[in-house]
Structure 1
Amino acid sequence: MQANEMAAATAAGGLDYREVRKIQFTGRSTYVLSLPKKWVEEMGLKAGDQVTLLREGDNSLSVVPMSSAAAAGSGSLPEATAIILPSESPSTLRRRVVSMYLAGYNIIHLKAKSGRMGPALRDAVREVARRNLVGTEMIADAPDMITLQVLLSLPELSVNTAIRRMYLIASSMHRDAMAALAEMNAELAREVIKSDDEVDRFSLYVLRNLVMAAQNGRVLREMGLKNPSDCLGYRAAAKSIERVADHACGIAEAAARLKERLPKETLQKVEKMSYLALSVLGDAAEALLRRDYQLADRTVDAAGGVHALEADAVQAMEREKVHDQAATVRLVLEDIRRTAEHASDIAEAALNETIGEEMAMAAAEKALGR
C-alpha cells in the first residue's frame, strides 16, 4: 500500500499503519513479515492471493495488491468537485480547472452553486480543455454541472516523450519565426504564434505527471524516472522550453511588424546568433534526456557565447544605420539571447540530475586505478 494511501486510511480512522512488526525467520533462508489483518480485508485479499513488493527510492517497500491496477482501469479514479459561484469569472474558472488538472485528478466535476452555469463559463471550460489539457474530454454537460475526464494513461506518453515533443515544437517555432523575419512573411509569423498552444499543453501535461510522480514511487517508475529528485530537473526543463516557445512568438510578432527587409549584414548577424541559440537548445535537451553530464557541461559554456554575437549584431545595425526598425531588431536579439539562456538553464538542470552518476563513475575509475 502506498504511503499516501496509508496516511489517508489512518486519517479516516482506519488501522494505524505505523505499528511495529517483527521480521521472523523460517526454514533455512526465508524471512517473513505478517500483514495487518484489517488491511488485507479492506483490500479484499485472501490466503493465496498475490501482492507485488516494490522497492522505493528511499529503500522502503510498498506492498501493492495485484488487483490495484485493474481497479484503477475500471473507473476507480481520483475525483474532485469544485463549486462554481455566480460571481466567478471565466478566467478564474479556467485557472481553477488547470490547477485541478495539475493536482492529478482524473475526473473533474464543476458544479454551479446557483443551479445553472452561464454560457461564458461553459465556453471557458470547453476552451481550456481543448487548448490546454492533453487527453482531457468533456464527458458530461448538464445545465448545472460539467464533468471532465483525463483519458490519457501514463504509459501512453512518457515524460521524456513529452519533453522531446515540446523541444521539437519550440525549436521549429523558432526556425519558422526567423524565416518569417528574413522573408517578411506575416502569414508564417501567424502560424508560429498559433503553435504556442501546443507547447503549453505539453507543459501542463508534464507538470501534472511530475506532481503525481513526486507523490507515488510506482508512478515515478512508470514514467521512466529514477528518483523523486528527477522531477525538479524535468519541471525546470518544461518551464524553460515553454519560455523558448514564448520567445519564438516574440520573434514572430516582430517579424509581422517589419516594414522593410533587414540589411544583409544585420540579418546575417541575427541569424548567426539564432543558429547558436538553437544549437545549444538541442544539446541541452539531449543532455537532459540522455543524462549526459559532459554534454550538459559543454552546453553551458557554449551558451555563454550568445552575448558576443549579440554585440556583433548591434554593431552591424549601427554600421548599416538601422534606425527606424532598431527597436524591433533589439527585441528580436533579446528573444534570441533569452532562448540561449533558457537552454543553459536546461543544461544546468541536467548537470544537477546527473552529478551523482558522474561522481559514482569517477569513484569507480579511481578504484580501478585509471
Structure 2
Amino acid sequence: MRKLSEVRKVQRFGKSTLMVSLPAEWVKEMGLKPGDLVKITVRSNGTLVISPQRSHKLREESVVEILISSKTSDELLRRAIYTSYITGHDKIVIKSVDSNLTPDQVQGVRSMVRALIGAEIVEQDLSRIVVQVFVDTARYNIQSLVARMINIIKSMVNYLNAALRDLNTSLFRELLELEFELDRVYTLAVRYTYVLSSQRDGEAGEEAQLLTEYRALIKSLEDVGDTLSSIAKLVNDNDTLKRFAEHLREPIAEISDLINYALDVMMTSMNSRNILLANKSVDITAELASYFSKLEYSVVKRVGMEEYPRIRSMLERIRLACNYLQGSAEMIFDIVVASKGGKIDLTIK
C-alpha cells in the first residue's frame, strides 16, 4: 500500500476521553471492521504506532526458485540455499534446467538442509527438489536466540578446557558438534532478523529498532564459537601441541573460568536490561586482554622461548576469541542502553 501522512484533529468524546479517527483507506487496506482489535505501541520518542492485532493471521508464504544446470557446482548451490533461508523464504525450489540433478548436487542440498533448523526436503525427483522451512518465527525472539548461543559457547569453553586437560579426542569431537549447533542457531537468528525487518512498524516492537546491534552481536558470538572450534582442531591434529598441553592446563582453566563468568554477566545484563551489569561485562572482557598477557608470560616461563613459537598459534586463537567476546559485550551494552530510550539512569545506589 502507498504511504499515508495525514494531520488529524484530536476530538473530545465524553468528559475525559480524547479521540482521533483512523484513515479510511488504511482501515480498508487492513480489512478492519467494528469490534476488531488494534495493537497500540508507544515508542521511546513519543511516537504512537497502531497495527492490526491478528495473531491468527499467518504471514504469506515466500517462495524462491533456484535454477541450476549440470555445471552448477554444489558449493554454489549450497550457498544459494543458505542465503534463501536466512533472507526469510519459506519454500526453496531447486530445479535443473538441462538434465537430472547430479549426485554431488543432491548431496549438497541434503547436507545444507541438515544445517538449517526447521528445513526439510518435502519433494524430490530426478530434476527437482523442494525444501520447506517449517520455522514459525512467532515462537522465537532474538533475545532467546542470543541466550541460546551464549549457553552453547559456555559449553564449548568447558569442553575445550576438559579436552586440553585430559587430551581426550572424543571431547574435541564433541566441541566440534557444539560448534555445528551454534552455526545452526546463528543462521536461524539471522533469518529471524530478516523476517523482523520485513514486518510492518509496530508489529516487531523494540527488537526491530535494534536490528543492526543484534546482527552485529550474533555475528560476534558466532566468531567466538568458530575460534574455539579452530583451537580444538589445531590441538587435536598437532602432536607437538598435545605434548605441551600439560603446561597449559592451569592457565587455560583460569581463563576459561573468567570467560564463563563474563558470559554469565553478559546474559544477565541483557535479560535484565541493567546498564551497570552490561558495563561490568565490558570491563570483565577488557580484563581478559590483560589476563592474556599474564597467560602468555606464564607459558613462556614454563616451556621456554625456544619452544614458545610452536604453541603461539594456539595462544593467538585464544586471544582472538577473547577479542570477539569483548566485542559481544560492547554490543550488549549498546543494546541495553538503547532500550532505555530517552532516559538513561546511571545512578548507583
Query: Which TM bucket (shorter chain)?
Result: 0.7 to 0.9
Given the superposition, is the C-alpha separation of residues 258 and 326 from structure 1 closer, same or farther in structure 2, using an over 3 Å criterion?
farther
Q: Which amino acid in the other structure matches residue 22 of structure 2?
A: L
1:183 CA displacement: 1.4
Residue in structure 2 matched with residue 64 of structure 1 by the alignment: 52
Deviations 1:232-272 (A, max 9, x none): 22212211221121122122123312455437664322332
CA shift in 2, pair 1:297/1:48, >3 Å: closer
In structure 2, give the amino acid aligned to 1:94.
R
Percent identical residues: 19
Cα distance change, pair 47–264 in 1 and its aligned pair in 2 (3 A): closer
- What is the CA deviation profile of residues 5-54 of structure 1, one whole-angstrom value per residue up to 9, with x for unaligned ones? x2xxxxxxxxx5537585585864543234229x73x76x4854625244
Normalising by structure 1, we get a TM-score of: 0.80
Aligned-pair CA distance for 1:314: 2.8
Displacement after TM superposition at 1:202 (Å) = 0.4
Task: Decide whether aligned partners of structure 1 residues 291 and 346 sit closer, same or farther in structure 2, where only a CA change above 3 A counts.
Answer: farther
Partner of 1:331: 313
So what's the TM-score if we normalise by structure 2? 0.84
The alignment status of 1:153 with 2:136, answered yes or no, reads yes
Give the C-alpha shift of residue 70 in structure 1. Answer: 3.8
Name 2:292's counterpart in structure 1.
Answer: 310
CA positional deviation for 1:210 = 0.9
d(CA) in 2 for partners of 1:176, 1:195: 9
Structure 2 residue matching 1:108: 3-state secondary structure: strand
1:242 counterpart letter in structure 2: E
Contact preservation (8 Å) 2:285, 2:329? no
Q: Secondary structure at the match of 1:97?
A: helix
SS at match of 1:208: helix
Q: Structure 1 pair 165/213, CA: closer, same or farther in 2 (3 Å)?
A: same
Name the residue aligned to 2:328. 346
Question: Residue type matched to 2:52 in 1?
Answer: V
Q: CA RMSD in A?
A: 3.1
SS at match of 2:4: coil
Q: 2:149 aligns with which of 163, 166, 170?
A: 166
Query: Map of 1:96-175 to 2, 5 A cutoff?
Result: 96-131=80-115, 133-175=116-158
Return closer, same or farther for 1:220/1:325 CA change in 2, 3 Å cut-off.
farther
Q: Which residue of 2 aligns with 1:211?
A: 194
Moved more, 151-160 or 319-328: 319-328
In 1, the alpha carbon distance for the partners of 2:148 and 2:134 equals 19
Is contact 2:142-2:207 (8 Å) kept? no
Aligned pairs (5 A) from 1:254-265: 254-256=234-236, 257-259=238-240, 260-262=242-244
Aligned length: 340
Query: Which residue of structure 1 lines up, in the alignment, with residue 161 of structure 2?
Result: 178
Q: Distance in 1 between matches of 2:6 and 2:291?
A: 64
Which has the higher mean CA deviation after the structures are superposed, 340-349 or 202-211?
340-349
Give the letter for the 2:142 counterpart.
Answer: V
Question: Post-superposition shift, 1:94?
Answer: 0.8
Amino acid at match of 1:209: Y
Aligned-partner residue type, residue 141 of structure 2: S
- Residue in 1 aligned with 2:226? 246
State yes or no: 1:360 paired with 2:349.
Answer: no
Query: Gaps spanning 5+ residues in structure 1: where?
Result: 1-5, 7-15
Q: Does residue 201 in structure 1 map to residue 190 in structure 2?
A: no
Q: Which runs of 5+ in 2 are unaligned?
A: none
